Structure 1
Amino acid sequence: MANIRKRVKKDGVPYYTVQIRLKGYEPQSATFGRLTDAKRWAASTESAIREGRHFKTTEAKKHTVAEMIERYLLSAGLTKTQDEHTGLHLRRWNEEIGYMMLSDVTADTLTLVKDKLLNETVRTGQKRSPTTALRYMASLSKVFNTAVKSWGWLEDSPMRNIEKPRAAKGRVRFLDDDERERLTKACKESLNPLLYPAFILALSTGMRQAETMNLYWGKAPANPPTEGAWGVVLLEQGCIILHKTKNTEKRRIPLTCLALQLLKDMSKVRRIDTPLVFPSHKNPLKPIDLKTPWLKAMAEAEIKGFTWHDIRHTTASYLAMNGASLAEIAEVLGHKTLQMVQRYAHLSDGHITGVVERMNNKLFGGG
């Protein structure tokens, strides 16, 4: 028979523990946030035991979710950047269900936490986005998979049975011609002399902020950064070589026109106490933080709802509007697949029409 008990966590939130004892079978237990879920599990488990369909590994009854997460974090060797994301996600899961035995974790349990994440208000005053909730789920799913495949603590991951929220469409905010002219002017007139060349370089290449800020003159430094992206500027070859990127692959970035000329001008008067292209004033061995002059330039240009990362969207959008294919845009931006650049597809409709028209003219003759 099933025995259901109501308990209360330290924060006052109730939960329910279920114990099933049937003669001739090993006792089973589970924990739920809702009484209805507890009753449903009790009924289905009793039925499964009687029919010989129920089995829980011994290891799953020995370890808690907290122990699983702790072991994963100790063995994963996350970088500081990874810990700010994956580590943050796992610590939140630990707060919610860390006390539970792995054998007690069900899809219903995880769904309750997922729904809680989706309904919470974050710093922006809005609810957490489905995309962010998906990232929380992905982080824990990886830990469960490790516990299944590498440690033998579980037979299967309970994450497999959860309905995942639909990710929001990728945000696309790019500068129109008037906005671009105003912001370019504001950056050029900034009291910080590095803002303008950094902005032009980012706009010309589509590089990420970390890739732009962690550039070195001529050759790799003696002690390159252990975390994040970095690359070198090769003026003679008219290019930038990104040795380390977000997707870990090396990438060559061509330098042309204004961006190349600005870097040539900067190289003539560059600081001798640092190999960085955009060094900090306080510590020349670290890249500069342009947040303050950037926000001031944005205010001067009267531009709202635009971030530094949106410069990358602007580059991609201009490429699409000037006839670049999605494959070409992906190559410029350093994306491994076309999925990330599908958001720019509608901007290249004219190019697609031109491609189809040229094919038809070749096949059937132009009119």
Structure 2
Amino acid sequence: MATIRKLRGRWQAQVRRRGMKPRAKSFDSKAEAEKWARDLETQVDRFGAASDTKILERTTLDDLLKRYKIEVSPTKRGAVQEIQRIDVLQRHDIAHRTLIGLSQQDMASFRDERLRSVAPSTAVREMAILSHVLEVAIRDWGMPLAKNVVKLVRRPVIRNERSRRLTGDEEQRLLGSCEGGKIPFFKTLLVLAIETGMRRSEILGLRWSDVSHNRRVITLTMTKNGSGREVPLSQRAFDALTEWKTLAEDDRPMVFPMKAGSLEQVWRRLLVRAEIKGLRFHDLRHESVSRMFERGLNMIEVSSISGHKELRMLKRYTHLSADDLVGRLG
């Protein structure tokens, strides 16, 4: 058992175990002293030696985040975004906690505080990073942590399902408004998004070498979920790509030479010209997948085109038109 006593105005915790030197530390409050003693006893009981826990007392979560940002993040496809999120985490108070003192309650408090200023999806991504950082520290870096405290905390519920689809003549207005823009290929880009359900990153990363004109298929070697796939082209999508290929004035390898930030700016201006509200570019993926189901494709067929690995995730995109389904019901 640990000994907690008040000494010269501060609270001192002392832990004794057979076969180890006594460990003592002073704190401003009794609660802090008790917590340190409990954490130290847990670590000693698991690993059997107090020397193993000393590194946890001098290592902060920020130390792990710095190492992870250098060694692990650069190996990921979303390295830039992850490093940006780690920069945010390093500015948070929890980054200064030592590993010996990092608790389930700390993570719960972090979660609740973040939810007061960011969306649940952002908080979930940040917690996922913290969880993987601790997991790597335990499995690969030899940190004698008894548990991954992030896994013990309930994750925020994300409710970002959208059912927005193109209605009325919105598609015609979108494509027609492209004529007044300065980007010659933007109409083709939209047609491809509507017809194939490809993600924005997949469309912007598309190369002419990925397009098989003989097979009428696009080959994506690497996608968001970490695997490649082949996307069949409808006649409409194929014709739009072929027309753009003949109009392109240079031999650039990229089908659509545009960055994600530029696409968002062009998209916002296009919505203003088309007088359309509440539509996001990603909604075109919802529209495309829903149309595939309305055409009679089954879940497996749609997933092979859209690239959804989990069928339960695909259900979020199947916002079928009731009017179109009436005829099929008979």
- Scaled to the shorter chain, the TM-score interval is 0.7 to 0.9
Q: Percent identity?
A: 27
Q: Does 1:42 align with 2:34?
A: yes
Alignment of 1:19-34 (within 5 A): 19-22=12-15, 26-27=22-23
> Which range moves more in the overlay, 343-352 or 60-69?
343-352
User: Residue in 2 aligned with 1:333?
Assistant: 306
For the residues of structure 2 that align with 1:184 and 1:347, how far apart are their CA atoms? 22
Instruction: State the match for 1:145 in structure 2.
Output: 135
Question: What SS class does the counterpart of residue 68 from structure 2 fall into?
Answer: helix
What's the offset of the Cα at 1:268?
Answer: 2.2
- The TM-score with structure 1 as length reference comes to 0.73
Q: 1:2 aligns with which of 4, 20, 23?
A: 4
8 Å CA contact 2:12–2:25 kept in 1: the answer is: yes
Give the structure 2 partner of residue 283 of structure 1.
Answer: none
Say yes or no: does 1:74 pair with 2:67: no
Q: What is aligned with 2:98?
A: 101
Q: Which position in structure 2 is the counterpart of 1:91?
A: 87
CA deviations on 1:67-91 (whole Å, 9 max, x unpaired) are: 2222222221526863343223333
Deviation per CA, 1:12-40: give whole Å up to 9, x if none: xxxxx9752256674366999xx7xx739
2:311 is aligned with 1:321: no
Question: Please, what TM-score do these two structures have when normalized by structure 2?
Answer: 0.80
1:206 CA drift (Å) = 0.7
Q: How many residues align?
A: 316
1:183 to 171, 174, 190: 174
Provide structure 2 residue ranges, at least 5 long, that are not aligned to the other structure: none
245, 249, 252: which one aligns with 2:230: 252
Equivalent runs, 1:265-344 vs 2, <5 Å: 265-279=243-257, 289-344=262-317
Q: Deviations over 1:237-258 (max 9, x none)?
A: 2121112211222211112222
Q: Which whole-Å CA distance do the structure 2 matches of 1:105 and 1:288 have between them?
A: 38
Question: Relative to 1, partners in 2 of residues 1:199 and 1:150: Cα closer, same or farther, differing over 3 Å?
Answer: same
Task: Tell whether the 8 Å contact from 2:286 to 2:318 is kept in structure 1 after alignment.
Answer: no
Q: Which runs of 5+ in 1 are unaligned?
A: 6-16, 121-127, 220-231, 281-285, 359-367
Q: Choose 248-257 or 79-88, whichever is displaced more.
A: 79-88
CA–CA distance in 2 between the matches of 1:354 and 1:344?
21
Root-mean-square deviation (CA, aligned residues, Å) is 3.7
The CA deviation string for residues 294-331 of structure 1, in whole angstroms up to 9 with x for no partner, is 32221122111212222111111222333333333222
Question: The residue matched to 1:183 in structure 2 has which SS?
Answer: helix
8 Å Cα contact 2:195/2:237 also seen in 1: yes
Report the Cα distance in structure 2 between the residues aligned to 1:31 and 1:307, rounded to whole angstroms.
52
For residues 341 and 111 of structure 1, what CA distance do their matches in structure 2 show? 31
Normalized per residue, the structure richer in helix is 2
CA 1:31–1:69: 2 relative to 1, 3 Å: farther
